[in-house]
Amino acid sequence: MSNSIQQIPSEQQAMRAKCFHPSGTFVEFPMEDVETSIPERFEKIVRLYPDCLAIKDKDRSLTYDQLNRAANRIAHAIIERRDQGSEPIALLFEHGIDVIAALLGVLKAGKFYVALDPSFPQERLKYMLQDSEAPIVLVNHRSFELGKQITKSSFPLLNVEEIDESLSSENLCLAISPVDLVNIRYTSGSTGVPKGVTRNHRSSSQVPGLMRVSPDDRFSLIHSVSFGSSAMDLYLSLLNGASTFLFDVKRESVQRLLHWLSEEQITVCHFPPALFRQVAELLSDRRQLSNLRLVRLSGAAISRLEFELYREKFTAETLLEIGMGSTEAGRICSATLDQTFSFPDKGAPVGYPVKGIEIRLLGEDGREVSLGEIGEIAVSGSSLAFGYWKEPELTGAKFLPDPGDANRCIYLTGDLGQMLSDGFLIHRGRKDLMVKIRGYRVDLREVEGALREHPTISDAAVAAWDQSSEEKYLVGYIVSHAESTMRVSELNAFLRAKLPDYMIPKAFVLLESLPLTNGKLDRSMLPQPGNQRPDLRTAYVPPRNDIERLLSRIWEGVLVTEKVGIHDNFFDLGGHSLAAARIISGVIKQFQLELPIKALFESPTVAEMAAVITAHQGKQLTDGDLARVLGELESLSDDEAQRLLAEETTSSDSGPRHE
């Protein structure tokens, strides 16, 4: 039995029926067109709308007929050099019309493309070029020098701006199968080496056939076509007769993007959630983007923050499409929402399985979990990739045989999901974003969500770092509103009201902005913090006597923090229940005094603890009692330490004091 429910509820069907251009016209995309090639469908659109605007960038624009002829000349030039036959062709272009014409030209020539983004590090570009074994690189004037650098003359370059104008601009009409490859798209690999995902014409045409797109629609394309969902946006527009407007988000400001969306009267815009937040926060008037009929969010799980920004900043006429997909699986599920949607208490909504997709939720044992339970999202259907380029073992590990259909496979996404009774899927995090902190499973996104609820924080991310061979600790990365200031003590107090002890980050790093790659949070670029003292509300005061010096060393050793001041609060330094037990154990060893864990709760600074020790001098433990007390403390689990701390402090009216 599958968790997937094929028939979406009537309410969602009615919502999707509202999702079309006000003109009420759209191009039919029959399923038989999914079983053709991308060039064949594109040429059909060219015949229908030859003089309509197809594409526009910062410098120029082309009609469908002009774009088709430019792509045809490139296709003829490729075949002139490489003959017919399927093979990879590398594209090295900045975001603009040339890369779109080159992409179509490669497909028209019966070949498949590898998109090289010039903003990538050269070592990554060289790896992609060598791994794909592309025999030729397409460039233009702007990328020609970079092409020479990364190829070192071992690969020929074809400059599309120098193609002979006398070369034919007529359609090639090659026989291209829907199962022929369209591209190799490189995505981050767990080993640190990019892995190539291969897709065919059938899987790439699946999404364009799912939406009612009008020739009057004006689509934004704000990321490089090397970014998976951007290529899907391109097909969604060009295979349905709409106009595509290119904006280079890497080179322009978010403020400029906002003005551009208004100037170009964009009707459908696709954002990653992180970029959407930045745009929405700049909106001062709900009517500023009144032409925008549909905001599409994907690339990362949507949070309540994004939904509330949509409800607050956009008119009721603008609908919100959420969804989930991956490079390997394409579009998995989606839902069209309006401002009456009720956001779930836990997890991120991602919608209903798209047509032709079946979703299973699998437990650790590989069996399907019951409805309402959490399991790994496994996908089967016609939109799946072929597998990984030259990686048969990895392909076999991630693309499993479908026991229900010998002609299909099942892809393990690595995402966790929960299926509601009507078939609506809730995303419950990534398996690889589930980390163990002191023995507890922590979803980093849950901590990020709590941080974003702080009124002075505009964005946040959380990463887990190795503190020792056996321990990890959390670090919060925060972007604050320009006029806001905050202290670690305030953040700790805020989070302790929302999260359990083990989910509180040990340290916080203030950033001007989160590192993004193609609009998505790039966790690999989050800096590892040092062991320096955090920015506390209290000024640093050094130890004044031997007792305080000894206590500071104990604090510094357990908390792995440099220069603990005598008035620094234990909890503001990243302290938690297990660390409290360790500090008390260190104090008992050093001063041979019996102290309960709650002593640190009541006296959370070096100065206050020094006063407690001074008051108890002369009451040292015997050797036998010392061994007993230390044995009890050192055998405490984190659960037991938290329980003791809770039991010993429930009678107190206040939480940990933050001086």
What is the three-state SS of 17-80? Answer: HCCCCCCCCCCCCCHHHHCCCHHHHHHHHHHHCCCCEEEECCCCEEEHHHHHHHHHHHHHHHHH
pLDDT score for 623: 65
pLDDT in tens, 596-637: 767 777 888 989 988 888 887 766 666 666 666 666 555 554
Mean local confidence (pLDDT), 267-280:
88
Share the mean pLDDT of the chain: 84
Structural contact between residues 118 and 140, judged by C-beta atoms closer than 8 angstroms: no
Please state, in angstroms and as integers, the Cα–Cα distance from residue 159 to each residue in 75, 134, 231, following that order: 13, 16, 22
- Percent over 90 (pLDDT), the chain: 37
Give the 3-state secondary structure of residue 203: helix
Residue 549 clears pLDDT 80, i.e. is over it? yes
Measured N-to-C along each axis, helices 38-48 and 97-108 cross at an angle, to the nearest 10 degrees, of 120
Q: In the CATH scheme, what architecture does the domain 438-525 have?
A: 2-Layer Sandwich (3.30)
Q: How far apart are CA 57 and CA 218, in angstroms?
A: 13
For 554-600, write each residue's pLDDT tens digit. Answer: 888 877 777 888 888 887 777 766 677 778 878 887 888 777 767 77
Which tokens sit at 334? 């989606």
- 169-183, 327-341, 573-587: which range is least confident on average? 573-587
CA gap 553, 158 in Å, rounded:
65
Full-model pTM: 0.70
Instruction: Give the pLDDT band (50/70/90) at residue 641.
Output: low
Q: What is the pLDDT of residues 360-370, one digit of tens each?
A: 999 988 889 99
What would be the CATH architecture of the domain defined by 546-649?
Orthogonal Bundle (1.10)
**What's the whole-number mean pLDDT along residues 508-529?**
80
- Find all residues with CB under 8 Å of 28, minimum gap 6, and list them: none
Q: How far apart are CA 305 and CA 351, in angstroms?
A: 18
Choose between 574 and 209: higher pLDDT. 574
Residue 297 scores a pLDDT above 70: yes
Q: What is the pLDDT averaged over residues 440-460?
A: 84
Domain 1-21+267-431 has CATH 3.40.630.10: no
Looking at the chain, which residues constitute the CATH 1.10.1200.10 domain(s)? 546-649
Amino acid 649: pLDDT: 41
pLDDT one-digit tens code per residue, 45-97: 999 999 999 999 999 999 999 999 999 999 999 999 999 999 999 999 999 99
Gap between the terminal Cα atoms of the chain: 57
The runs of H, that is alpha helices, within 373-456 are 392-398, 444-452
Q: Where in the chain is the domain with CATH 3.30.300.30?
A: 438-525
Task: For the chain, give every residue range classified as CATH 3.40.50.12780.
Answer: 1-21+267-431
Confidence of residue 28 (pLDDT cuts 50, 70, 90): confident
C-alpha–C-alpha distance, residues 159 and 144, integer Å: 7
pLDDT at 645 over 60: no
Rounded CA-CA distance 552/560 in Å is 11
More confident residue, 12 or 294: 294
Residue range 428-433: mean pLDDT, rounded: 79
pLDDT tens figures, 193-207? 678 999 888 888 776
Residue predicted with more confidence, 255 or 433: 255
